[in-house]
Structures are given as structure tokens and as C-alpha cells.
Amino acid sequence: MKKLLCIALLLALALAFPVSNLLATRKPDPALRTHVKDARHEKVASIFEQKCLDCHSDKATLPFYANLPVASSMIAKDIKHGTEEFNALLDCFGPTPPNEAVLARIQRVMEDGSMPPADYRLMHWGSGLNSEDKKALMEWIRFARARANGQADGTHPLFASPILPLTAPQGLNPDKVALGRKLYHDNRLSGDNTLSCASCHDLKKGGTDQAQYSTGIKGQKGGINAPTVLNASHAFVQFWDGRAADLQAQAAGPVANPIEMGASWNDVPGKLKADPDYVAAFAKLYPEGITKNSITDAIATFEKSLVTLNSRFDQFLRGKTDALTADEQEGYRLFMADGCYKCHVGQALGGESFEKFSLHGDYFAERGNPTPADDGRYAVTKNEADRHKFKVPTLRNITLTFPYLHDGSTSDLAKVVKLMAKHQLHSNVPERDIALIVKFLGTLTGELDGRPLK
Ligand code: HEC
Ligand code: HEC
Ligand code: HEC
């Protein structure tokens, strides 16, 4: 009898929390609600409130037992871990659509059923995502993805995937593109007339210099690998540490950088004004004439035209299934299944977020010889949490943009994929799979000005 009573008591206790959770539904989160402008997506906001925000926001209202001794530390740990890993839910309904790095991750946890975590579902009955939730979420993901890619309608099958084919840039003034191309290749933008943008971002070398570190004016070596300019317009910010907001802001940098082009913006416009062709071309396009602003605008416009369309992978995505071999298709499947796409997403397969390198283990301790370039985003924010965070590089044309990583430490693509699996995914991907992923990466090389890059 006593035993039965004990069991009943334990059972009642075990049920008390889930039942209390059942009765006390979460209150709408004002921070989230103010942003839901589209009534169709009310449902998604409410899913986030009811089933996600407990752990993905430090502002959520928690149930009473969150203050009890053991529960409180467990819950605090969940919130800390959950917000650290993913703190973008509250921004999902902001004025700008969430970027692909966010959408891809939500889609992933929805499809693999990993969120909310199993122990949470045990305590919060009915908190799992049901088929209606999933339908609403997927509709919203497609809608947000379409908007982020300049389309109003997300029903096209392409919008089901976090990786999209490159689309041709729209609305570029061809005369500005031509002027920008000339400036990009013009040595007069450097202090001693020896270097142009193309010296370090050679369009015949995948938009890079294919060197570990670049050589600037008077033979000076830089301390960080030069990323490609190809498809750079797709990146949400420029530079490894994101210190330039866009291509125009970026273009002002190297000209005046003493170890790159070593010129002064006080001198460059004057030098170009001595050239009647430039005077005429600028006069036609810019009422202000030749200034730092018009020069960098023309260069940025040219860079926006550097989108490498029509890779075999893009042909495949657009429905030409035989554009990839069976091995390459398997490599793509592994790229998705292993989770590479959590960071290498969108049209450029990268450039959508800052991510820490490395998340598991310590790449820098293993490599040795620390340099200031290893600081990454920390250099801009001075926030310790941003140390070793880098803008995720694009994987487009990756076979041409060696050596790899911000430190340019290797030209061996298989080695980089192994480092990624180990440090970013904490997974021991078999050699065979690494080789298949490398084969897939080889299909990302596109065309420039209608000619295949090589
Ligand atoms: C009980 C707390 C909890 C709840 C509730 C919860 N999460 Fe999480 N979430 C976490 C934790 C902890 C992590 C980090 C590690 C992990 O994957 O377990 C995480 C990770 C994530 C990630 C990043 C996954 C990745 O691989 O990068 C996403 C996206 C996410 N959650 C979305 C959601 C969504 C959407 C919901 C609601 C449907 C939700 N979470 C509900 C605790 C929670
Ligand atoms: C001396 C070599 C050198 C020259 C010359 C040079 N760059 Fe760079 N460029 C680099 C390096 C190195 C970086 C990476 C620096 C960093 O992230 O801190 C870079 C970064 C960039 C990026 C950012 C790409 C990304 O993914 O973040 C763009 C765009 C770019 N350069 C365009 C230009 C343009 C335009 C010019 C001419 C005005 C130019 N560069 C001149 C070496 C050079
Ligand atoms: C958690 C985010 C994340 C994941 C997951 C991830 N990467 Fe990366 N990847 C990065 C970052 C950040 C860098 C830049 C690191 C650096 O330069 O120090 C990078 C760099 C690379 C590079 C070098 C690019 C270049 O131009 O230098 C390749 C190739 C690459 N990743 C492929 C992959 C593959 C394949 C996978 C899956 C096995 C993967 N990544 C998974 C974040 C990630």
C-alpha cells in the first residue's frame, strides 16, 4: 500500500511540470510581435513564442519552476547554450528579411526534428513541431528566402533549398561598369603607379593572386590572404572581419593602405584628371566629376558585374540533372547532410554570416604562430566573443581561389574540407566522403563575360 502511494506520489510529481506547462501557454512576445507585418506569418511568430523562445531569447517569460533549485540551473544552461548557438529568432520579423544563414538553420532543425530538444518535449507536451507548424514554417522560409533574393513569390521549387543558383545582376549601368573595369586595372591608383586592384585580384586567377599573402607597393607583404572579388557583391559585408559595409566602402581601403597601394585619396583624383579620357567618361556619368566617391562607385559597380553564372552546379540546380556526375551529386548530398551548408549558404555558398573558426578543438593552437589576422571580427568590435570569427568565405570558383583560409595556409582543398569537418562540424567524415565533397566543390566554377573560368 505504502509502495503504491509512493509511486502515485512520484507519478503526480513527474506529471506536475508537464501539466503546468500545458495550462500555462507562453505570452506573446512584444519584441517579436511588433515586427510581424504580414498576417500570413502570425502562425510562425506564435510557434516561435510557444515552442522556441524559452531557450532562444533571454527575455522569455519562464514557468514557475524555473526558479526551483535544480531546474533553474538546467534551464539557465539551456538558455545560455541555445542563445549562444542561435540568437536570431527575435530578428526574424525585422524590417529586412532574415538572411540565409538563419533560414537554413531553422529549416534544418525543422526537417531533422531536433528542435525543440527531446528533453524539453518531455516536459512540454505538444511542443514538438506538428505537420501544420512545419507547413507554416516552410511557407514562411520560402517567402523570406525569395525576398532576400529579390523575389516576391517563394513558390518556385528553387526556394525550397538554402543553396541557390547565382542570378545575373540587375540594373547596372554598362558605362559605369566599363569605367570601373578600367579603374580596376589602372596602376595610377597606387602611390608609385605599380599596382592596380587586379594585381592582387586577378580575374584570370579566380579574382585572387593565388598567393598566401599579397605583395603590396615596394614589395611589402600583407598578413592575410586576399579573398576573391568574384561574387563579392553577394557578401553581407566586406573583408574577413567585415570592417567595410559594402563594395564602395571597401574600394576606398586598399588605395590608401600603406602596405597595399600606398596612395592618398588627396592625390588620386588629381592624377586621373590629367587623363582626358577619364575626364570625359566621368563627366558623362557623374556630375561631381572625378572624386573619391565617383571612383569608388564606378569600381564597385564593375565588381557587381563579376557574378560567375552558369556553373555546372547551377545548371544542375536549374534542372539539368546530367550536368553533374553521380559522384558530384553524392558530394553535394554529403555537403548538405554533413551540415556544411549551415555556414556556406545562399547564392555564393558563403558571405552571409560571421562564424567562429574553430567551434570544436583549437585550430590556432594546432597551427601555431599566432598573427593579428587571427583575431577576425574581434579587431572591429573588441568583443571577446568575436575573436576568431570570420566572414564565411564563398565557395564559388573554389578550385581557382587557393591558397585557402584567412591565413592562406594550404592549397590542398581536401585538407581544408577535413579541417572544416573536424573543427566546424565535430565530425569524422570518412576519406571517401571528403573526396566526394571535393569533387562537388569542383562543379562551382562558373563563367565570366560568357567564358568559362579556368
Ligand atoms: C529547451 C531549450 C530549447 C528550445 C525550446 C528550442 N531550442 Fe533550439 N537550441 C537549443 C540549444 C541548447 C541549442 C544548441 C545546441 C544544440 O543543437 O542542441 C539550440 C540550437 C538551435 C539552432 C541552431 C542549430 C544549428 O545546428 O546551428 C536552431 C536553428 C534552433 N535551435 C532553432 C530552434 C527552433 C526553431 C525552436 C522551436 C521550434 C527551438 N530551437 C527550440 C535549445 C532549445
Ligand atoms: C596588395 C594587394 C591588394 C590590392 C592592390 C587590392 N587588394 Fe583587395 N584585398 C587584398 C587583401 C589582402 C584583402 C583581405 C583584407 C582583409 O580582409 O583584411 C582584400 C580584400 C578585398 C575585398 C573583400 C572581399 C571579401 O570577400 O571580403 C574586395 C572586394 C577587394 N579587396 C577589392 C579590391 C579593389 C576594388 C582593389 C582596388 C581598389 C583592391 N582590392 C586592391 C589585397 C589587395
Ligand atoms: C560553422 C560554420 C562552418 C561550417 C559548418 C563549415 N564551414 Fe567552411 N568555413 C567557415 C569559415 C568561418 C571559414 C573561414 C575560416 C578561416 O579562413 O579561418 C571557412 C572556410 C572554408 C573553406 C576555405 C575557403 C577559402 O576560400 O579560403 C572551404 C573550402 C570550406 N570552408 C568548406 C567547407 C565544407 C566542405 C564544409 C562541410 C564539411 C564546411 N566548410 C563547413 C565556416 C564553416
CB 387 within 8 A of CB 358: no
Tell me how far apart the alpha carbons of residues 320 and 304 are, in angstroms, rounded to a whole number: 27
Residue identifier of the C-alpha nearest atom 14 of ligand 2: 226
Is the pLDDT score of 352 beyond 70? yes
Is 26 close to ligand 1, i.e. is its CB under 6 Å away?
A: no
Closest ligand 1 atom to Cα of 78:
12
Query: What's the confidence (pLDDT) of residue 57?
Result: 80
Is 356 close to ligand 1, i.e. is its CB under 6 Å away?
A: no
Residue identifier of the C-alpha nearest atom 37 of ligand 3: 340
Residue identifier of the C-alpha nearest atom 15 of ligand 2: 239
Query: What's the confidence (pLDDT) of residue 34?
Result: 56
Long-range contacts of 322-329 (CB under 8 A, 24+ apart): 323/443, 324/440, 324/443, 325/439, 327/436, 327/439, 328/436, 328/439, 328/440, 328/442, 328/443, 329/440
Model confidence at 81, pLDDT cuts 50, 70, 90, reads confident
Cis upstream peptide for 131 (omega within 30°): no
Is 260 close to ligand 2, i.e. is its CB under 6 Å away?
A: yes
403 vs 83, which has greater pLDDT? 403
Average pLDDT over residues 109-137: 92
Closest ligand 2 atom to Cα of 199:
5
14 vs 66, which has greater pLDDT? 66
Is the pLDDT score of 393 beyond 60? yes
Tell me how far apart the alpha carbons of residues 253 and 234 are, in angstroms, rounded to a whole number: 19
Distance 423 CA to ligand 3 centre (A): 9
pLDDT > 70: what percent of the chain? 93
Query: What's the confidence (pLDDT) of residue 88?
Result: 82
Distance 252 CA to ligand 2 centre (A): 10
Is 86 close to ligand 1, i.e. is its CB under 6 Å away?
A: yes
Is the pLDDT score of 414 beyond 60? yes
Is the pLDDT score of 86 beyond 90? no
Closest ligand 1 atom to Cα of 84:
14
Is 98 close to ligand 1, i.e. is its CB under 6 Å away?
A: no
Tell me how far apart the alpha carbons of residues 280 and 432 are, in angstroms, rounded to a whole number: 58
Distance 9 CA to ligand 3 centre (A): 52
Is 129 close to ligand 1, i.e. is its CB under 6 Å away?
A: yes
Is the pLDDT score of 38 beyond 80? no
